[in-house]
Amino acid sequence: MKTYSILITMADGSQGRCLGIYSDGFTAVIDVITSFPDAKRISVRRIP
């Protein structure tokens, strides 16, 4: 399991950032899409 920094941008331009522990980046994106289906952009970056 690795730590990921997740940046979520909504259609109105508002942004949210959080940290999460996931097995890989793909799993992180799927989790965020499930929680925020209206997100315009999702950026996931692994924290070393």
User: Cα 20 to the chain's mean position, in Å?
Assistant: 8
Residue 29: per-residue pLDDT: 96
Give 31-41 pLDDT, tens digit per residue: 999 999 999 99
Give residue 38's pLDDT: 95
pLDDT digit string, tens, across residues 1-48: 999 999 999 999 999 999 999 999 999 999 999 999 999 999 999 999
Report how far Cα 22 is from the mean position of its chain's Cα atoms: 11
Side-by-side strand order, sheet with 39-47 = 15-22, 2-10, 39-47
CA 44 to mean position of chain CA atoms: 5
pLDDT of residue 13: 96
Distance CA 21, CA 11 (A): 26
Task: Give, rounded to a whole angstrom, the gap between the first and last alpha carbons of the chain.
Answer: 11
Full-model pTM: 0.85
